[in-house]
Structure 1
Amino acid sequence: MADLKPRTEISFIETFFCSAFAACFAEFFTIPLDVAKVRLQLQRKMVTEDGVSLPKYRGLLGTVATIAREEGLSALWKGITAGLHRQFVYGGLRIGLYGPVKTFLVGSDYVGDIPLFHKILAAFLTGAIAIAVANPTDLVKVRLQAEGKLPAGVHKRYSGALDAYLTIIRQEGLGGLWTGIGPNIARNAIINAAELASYDQVKQTILQIPGFMDNVFTHLLAGLGAGLLAVCVGSPIDVVKSRMMGDSTYKSTLDCFIKTLKTEGIFAFYKGFLPNFGRLGSWNAVMFLTLEQVKKVFITEVYYD
């Protein structure tokens, strides 16, 4: 009697394209929240003559509404081209490399559940490698998102993603495309470790609970859990990264951190926390749900006698 053993055998290339597609799909539907998050993070204290602080953007929905009202609905998709570039490269690499790196760390002969530490380390390494390659796309995305409504007669810095790449190279040199690489590597390595390792672990834990199966509901819970942990851990680094990429006046990561702390206090590093969670939580839910479904195309059933 034949023993049917389902087995998933997906190559790096197949995993890369599955991950890239899922990441781009999630990016398109959640980028308005990312635009709101970037505007909130870049916002500085505005003080009137009587000393009253008047922030332009207030809260997730308020920021989205303000941008839509002042700049039109299309402004909520600012940076989408660069965002898709980023997700294709970064999303494909960080997830595509995760499995092979886990295997490398524990050894190809390892049997059983991979320890959490190795999952975290594997995701940390793949996040760092992937964003080191994809930093130019991230920079252009932030620059395009950071630009609000301009006064009459004032021209935009960039007409689009391609123009932004070329303008940055022309004005800041090729190395300018890697502006903010330090905090970006730190941010994405940490967030990737939080996302992938926690998704992996939460999903594994849920599947051990009687009644739970490897289905959409489990993927949704694991994705939301991964998003929450990623925001809690990565928000301060994310703020520094956005500010360095949106404003080239900072001398270094430490300079940006100290100036932000001195002028705005510790809570400035959690600006945009709710839209960040709304963004990352929903992004992770959509991305992992899509990824799990797309991967099924490559699932093969192998029969053993």
Structure 2
Amino acid sequence: MATALKGHKSPPSGGKFNWMKHVKYEHLVAGVSGGVTSTLLLHPLDLIKIRFAVNDGRTAAVPQYRGLTGAFLTIFRQEGFKGLYKGVTPNVWGSGSAWGFYFLFYNTIKTYIQDGNSAQPLGPSLHMLAAAEAGVLTLVMTNPIWVVKTRLCLQLSEPGQKVNNAAVYAGMVDGLKKIYRTEGVRGLYSGFVPGMLGVSHGALQFMTYEEMKNKYNQHRKRPIDAKLTTVEYLTFAAVSKLIAAATTYPYQVIRARLQDHNHRYKGTWDCIKLTWRYESWRGFYKGLGPNLLRVMPATMVTFVTYEHVSRYLLGFRKP
């Protein structure tokens, strides 16, 4: 947090916990609400995206699908409706907690830099820096949940069985226990390095979203923190997500492959080299179609839910 304040006016003195006055838990609740809502609606697309991402054409345990519709129908036919929601529990926990913590950390850091004045513009660099710091803190707290979610989405056998000597998990808690027991903390943080690269995704998205809102309100000669309509929130959320997703998608493919227990890589660089060698640049964009189909409406639902819930909850703070 101190990093974001370099070259910036120091806040008034008030003890080392002075920043705590800027923590508003309404942002946490609103972020969780948005993340959970969008996840429950769109989890099947997330599952299909992961299965496309890890399909390197060389691993027999990974099923082959022909297009988004073919994948949906094949999973439904072979695994039933429940198959489309494999990994939904850790996804709900992961998405809800990730969005909740992200909005909480981001708004706390941003408000601390502004010294409580939400009408003070930060500019693109400070917006991106605040978002990056929030992203790192969030990833440290949620990476184990994403590992379990990825593995459950790729699980094709019943609990108690083993495929290619890989454990099969009964659920999120069982997955966390088995990964920790067999792979230790390192297993729970597999994919962490490309996940750190993915912090740039959130930073780029939030910077774009905030700057578009600010410029739009300035164009209308209103305070930058003025409330927008639902359609305006939807538009800015969609555009910012599209830009961030198209720019940073390859890291998601690498992270998913490192977290998949059907694959064995020596590390991040080994995964990148093998993907390029056997699949060229196209390998880094596998699953981009279903990913965009999922993240665009997911982000729109998440941001609109967050904006309205946070406005409602923060309204109770006003005298």
Q: TM-score range by the shorter chain?
A: 0.7 to 0.9
1:262 aligns with one of 277, 284, 302: 277
Question: Is structure 2 residue 214 aligned with structure 1 residue 200?
Answer: no
Equivalent residue, structure 2, for 1:244: 258
Question: Shift in Å at residue 208 of structure 1?
Answer: 4.6
Number of matched pairs? 287
Equivalent residue, structure 1, for 2:174: 163
Q: Which structure 2 residues correspond to residues 1-305 of structure 1 after superposition, within 5 A? A: 11-45=23-57, 56-105=64-113, 112-148=120-156, 157-187=168-198, 189-208=199-218, 214-247=228-261, 249-300=264-315
Partner AA of 1:27 in structure 2? T
Question: Shift in Å at residue 268 of structure 1?
Answer: 0.6
Contact 1:194 1:233 in 2 (8 A): no
Question: Shift in Å at residue 34 of structure 1?
Answer: 0.5
Partner AA of 2:267 in structure 1? S
Seen in structure 2, the aligned counterparts of structure 1 residues 96 and 62 have a Cα distance that, compared at 3 Å, is: same
Question: Shift in Å at residue 272 of structure 1?
Answer: 0.9
Contact 2:22 2:108 in 1 (8 A): no
* Separation (CA, whole Å) in 2 of partners of 1:162 and 1:72: 23
* Separation (CA, whole Å) in 2 of partners of 1:63 and 1:211: 49
Question: Shift in Å at residue 41 of structure 1?
Answer: 0.4
* Separation (CA, whole Å) in 2 of partners of 1:302 and 1:84: 29
| Unaligned residue ranges in structure 2 (runs of 5+) | 1-20
Partner AA of 1:144 in structure 2? L
Question: Shift in Å at residue 111 of structure 1?
Answer: 6.3
Query: SS of the counterpart of 1:66?
Result: helix
Equivalent residue, structure 2, for 1:3: none
Question: Shift in Å at residue 62 of structure 1?
Answer: 2.5
Contact 2:123 2:211 in 1 (8 A): no
Contact 1:70 1:149 in 2 (8 A): no
RMSD: 2.9
Query: SS of the counterpart of 2:84?
Result: helix
Query: SS of the counterpart of 1:77?
Result: coil
User: 1:32-56 CA distances to partner (integer Å, 9 max, x unpaired)?
Assistant: 1110100000112269xxxxxxx82
* Separation (CA, whole Å) in 2 of partners of 1:98 and 1:168: 30
Q: TM-score, normalised by structure 2?
A: 0.81
User: 1:195-219 CA distances to partner (integer Å, 9 max, x unpaired)?
Assistant: 2222212233344555997111001
Query: SS of the counterpart of 2:66?
Result: coil
